[in-house]
Amino acid sequence: MRTSLEAAMPVLYQYGLRTASDAKLAMAIDMSVTDLQAQYPSREALVSAAVLADTERQKRDHVALYAEFSSAVERLYGLLRLGLRDLASIPAAFYSELQNDFPSAWMVVVEHLNTYSAPQLQQLLNDGIRSRLFRSDININLVTKVLIEQINMMLNPVIFPPDRYNMAEVFRSIFLYYIRGLCTDEGARVSADHFARI
């Protein structure tokens, strides 16, 4: 079920974090401008709440994905596909603007990566090793750290300036081949179709 604040994200993407008007945001989340300004007295508060709502939307998407795929390899590739889908709708400068101008909203993203994404990846790696789809000699904690740092690297505008790099292509280049390298022969067979579709 979509929350009203999730509806603010497309407006923020389209018009900009600072330049989206209160009127457009209020209309998107079905609230009067007066109520919007009372509930979110600063743009930072509104952006932080909208980003938090979006992380909850991502979690619901993951639940649906897990219902569709049972193996760890399929789930991991499914998460990549969802990530690429989301990146396709996000303007190139969004994350750099978030980091530079909205530090509390950026901390929502960082917290989500640390408290949700990292344990999720650890569990998938563990499940994949148990089912012999991922190599048994990988260090789960280290590989999880590498994956999270790859996300941080991808979102760092100094390393990948959004005006020079397509974020979806950076995402694909960073993750697809790395994850394929974690697979056993059986895991590679399971992942082949997913790999080809991303």
Task: Name the nearest CA neighbour of 126 among 182, 66, 185, 72.
Answer: 72
Pull the structure tokens for residue 30.
Answer: 């079905």
Q: pTM for the full model?
A: 0.87
pLDDT band for position 180 (50/70/90)? confident
pLDDT-above-90 percentage for the chain = 67
Say whether pLDDT at 134 is over 50: yes
What's the rounded mean pLDDT across residues 25-49? Answer: 95
Say whether pLDDT at 16 is over 60: yes
Give CA–CA dist 44/180, Å, rounded: 39
Contacts of 61 (CB under 8 A, 6+ apart): 82
Say whether pLDDT at 1 is over 60: no
Say whether pLDDT at 52 is over 50: yes
